[in-house]
Chain A
Amino acid sequence: MSLDSSRYRLWNGYQTLLSAWEATQRHWRDTVSQDFDRKFLVPLGPSVFAAMNAMDQLDQILSRVRQECGESS
């Protein structure tokens, strides 16, 4: 699996999780659900984005290595 496809799968999984949470919140809206959101869901976004950026950087590095050390270039 390439880093690009891993990145896509992570993003897709995260979006699906957020959609599921939105659907849940339509049936569960109290201080407990707000605490749950604050404690778990809110901090998740920045760390997912940071990991995705890192995977993008790594993908670019790996592509450059393949290009510079392979036979074709």
Chain B
Amino acid sequence: MNPAAKVTNTRAIADFSAAVATFASISSSALSSVGQEIQRLSDWLEEQRQFWVRALRKVEEDFIHARQELARRKMMRIGDRPVATSDQELALRKAKVRFEYVQEKLAKTKEWQRVLPQLVLDNLAPVKVLQNNLDADLPKMRSFLDQKLNEIEQYAREQL
């Protein structure tokens, strides 16, 4: 059968082969960046864990200090009257809020470090499927198109 019979412009096939190559490059870059982005987040998560561990040490010290300061103030007397402790009570409340906030952040960070790998694995599957399909099919597509072009060119030569 004449391979050129239904091809009105061979350039169109060559252009499409180039478009397939461009898509291969774009999709490969886009899909591989998914893994890179996840790795960046995992690294960041570990940095955050270390950050919150250090922060917890600091806010724990602040909390203990604020509690001691309040206790010390409560024992003070001017004459036989106790001194005001509202500033120390406020400082202790603030230190407690900050302490609890950091505790919660550290717990959340550890929890995400525990569950993230499986969540990523579950959601990454379709990305990997596409990557595998493209790795297998895009070269086949180009090979198919190139073969078609060769057949047409050979047929054209034979007709001369």
Chains A and B belong together in one complex = yes
**Residues in A lying within 8 Å of B, measured CB to CB:** 1-3, 6-7, 9-10, 12-14, 16-17, 20-21, 23-24, 26-30, 32-33, 36, 40, 43-44, 47-48, 50-51, 53-55, 57-58, 61-62, 65-66, 68-71
B84 within 8 A of partner (CB): no
Closest 4 CB pairs of A and B: A30-B6, A20-B19, A13-B26, A27-B12
Q: Is the interface of A mostly helix, strand, loop or mixed?
A: helix
Query: Within the complex, which residue of A2, A40, A69 is in contact with B37, where a contact is CB–CB below 8 Å?
Result: A2
Q: Please give, as numbers and ranges, the residues of chain A lying within 8 Å of B36 by CB-CB distance.
A: 1
Known A13-B30, A24-B15; further 9 A-B contacts with Cβ < 8 A: A2-B37, A13-B23, A20-B19, A24-B13, A27-B8, A28-B6, A28-B8, A69-B52, A69-B109
Contact of B23 among A2, A3, A17 (CB under 8 A): A17
| Selected contact of B20 from candidates A7, A9, A17, A71, CB within 8 Å | A17
**Closest-CB distance, B73 to chain A (whole angstroms):** 31
Query: Do A3 and B34 touch (CB < 8 A)?
Result: yes
B48 touches A50 (CB 8 A): no
Min CB gap A10→B, angstroms: 4
- The answer to whether the Cβ of B141 comes within 8 Å of any Cβ in the partner chain is yes
Q: Write the nearest CB–CB distance from B64 to chain A, whole angstroms.
A: 22
By DSSP majority rule, is chain B's interface helix, strand, loop, or mixed?
Answer: helix
Give Cα A57–Cα B19 distance, bound, in whole angstroms: 29
Partner of A1, one of B5, B7, B33, B133: B33
A55 near B144 with CB under 8 A, answer no
Write the residues of chain B forming the contact surface with A, with a CB cutoff of 8 angstroms. Answer: 5-9, 11-13, 15-16, 19-20, 22-23, 26-27, 29-31, 33-34, 36-38, 41, 44-45, 48, 52, 105, 108-109, 112, 116, 119-120, 123-127, 129-130, 133, 137, 140-141, 144-145, 148
Cβ contact within 8 Å between B41 and A23:
no
20 A–B contacts from the bound complex (CB under 8 Å): A1-B33, A1-B36, A16-B19, A17-B22, A21-B19, A23-B15, A27-B8, A27-B11, A30-B5, A40-B140, A40-B141, A40-B144, A51-B127, A54-B126, A55-B127, A57-B123, A58-B34, A61-B116, A61-B123, A69-B112
